Amino acid sequence: NAGVTQTPKFRVLKTGQSMTLLCAQDMNHEYMYWYRQDPGMGLRLIHYSVGEGTTAKGEVPDGYNVSRLKKQNFLLGLESAAPSQTSVYFCASSRQGDYQPQHFGDGTRLSIL
């Protein structure tokens, strides 16, 4: 099993451009998450989903949109990229229920110029 797969791994954008980050998991997990990681800031939750067709805002949702049309996929969109969105983005998934560990993808390193 591949686990959690993120594409692309690296990307450079210009301010104002849009893009979509893709996350796919093959573990049949109900829950999926998008985090951003900045130096000294730990992991901050952007959006999450508790099932196909449902999404919810996390701690830092502004400037991002998400969709979960299929259970195995969770897409993160940047509508109009800003330099403040330069970060490493991690997707994670977990089983349904309390106290479940999260499984992370390898991350997408995104630079906005």
Partner 1 sequence: GQQVMQIPQYQHVQEGEDFTTYCNSSTTLSNIQWYKQRPGGHPVFLIQLVKSGEVKKQKRLTFQFGEAKKNSSLHITATQTTDVGTYFCAGPTGSGGSNYKLTFGKGTLLTVNP
108 binds partner 1 (CB under 8 A): no
2 binds partner 1 (CB under 8 A): no
Letter string b/e over residues 43-69, b meaning 16 or more CB atoms within 10 A of that residue's CB: bebbbbbeeeeebeebebbeebebebe
34 binds partner 1 (CB under 8 A): no
How far apart (Å, rounded) are the C-alpha atoms in residues 111 and 12? 5
27 binds partner 1 (CB under 8 A): no
Q: Which residues inside 48-107 make contact with partner 1, applying CB under 8 A?
A: 48, 50, 58, 90, 92, 94, 96-107
42 binds partner 1 (CB under 8 A): yes
How far apart (Å, rounded) are the C-alpha atoms in residues 1 and 109? 23
CB of 107 to partner 1, least distance (A): 5
> Which residues of the shown chain bind partner 1 in the complex (CB under 8 A)?
31, 33, 35, 40-45, 48, 50, 58, 90, 92, 94, 96-107
